[in-house]
Amino acid sequence: MSVSPAWEVQEHTGATAWFQVGLVFGDGARVDALAVVADGRVSIEDVKARPALSLADLTVLADWIEEPLCKACGMESYADEEPEAAEENGESGGARRARPPWPRGIEGRWLVAQEYRAAQADGLDPVLAVMCATGHSRRRSLRLIAQARDAGFLTPGHARR
């Protein structure tokens, strides 16, 4: 994880500072964020991630960057105040992954088919459901769906002539 100052604007009552935050996970996932510190509060202004973050990952992004960002700003972290709460939630100080790894091969294709059919049954967009489940882009998710069709887990997408 890296935190570096981007720029700072001095105002009459204080200063507003922007920081570039970079996270690289062991599975190759990367998150770059632009955080703003003003009046003792930290806000995330921009986030870029490869592969895309799921909503669950986005909600814990603040937890991932809070402590290093607060150290760079010279502020106290909320994590320092409540160490017992993190332990009760099952979080530890160890490395975190952006998302659990998606199984490869036949098991992954079967899981893609399950996600696809569950979304269809709920009246949701099945491609979007696969994207959210795998964390892959639309193009890669469509490729996984095609592989699940080829493996026989899904019906053909269109009638053959």
pLDDT of residue 111: 92
pLDDT of residue 160: 64
Query: The whole model's pTM is what?
Result: 0.43
Distant-in-sequence, close-in-space partners of 41: CB < 8 Å, separation ≥ 6: none
Q: Which domain holds residue 54?
A: 2-88
Q: Are residues 33 and 83 in the same domain?
A: yes
Q: Are residues 49 and 119 in the same domain?
A: no
Q: Residue count of the chain, please give it.
A: 161
Q: What is the dihedral of CA 115, 120, 124, 129, to 10 degrees?
A: 20
pLDDT of residue 157: 75
Would residue 130 count as lying in a domain?
yes
pLDDT of residue 19: 84
Would residue 158 count as lying in a domain?
no
pLDDT of residue 114: 93
The radius of gyration of the chain's CA atoms, rounded to the nearest angstrom, is 21
pLDDT of residue 1: 74
Q: What is the pLDDT along the chain (161 residues), one digit of tens a residue?
A: 777 777 777 777 777 788 888 888 777 788 888 888 776 677 788 888 888 887 777 777 777 777 777 777 666 554 444 444 444 444 444 444 455 677 888 888 999 999 999 999 988 889 888 888 887 788 888 999 999 999 999 988 776 66
Q: How many structural domains are present in the chain?
A: 2
Q: Are residues 53 and 9 in the same domain?
A: yes
Structural tokens at position 32: 């770059």
Distant-in-sequence, close-in-space partners of 56: CB < 8 Å, separation ≥ 6: none
Helix or strand or coil: residue 58? helix
Helix or strand or coil: residue 129? helix
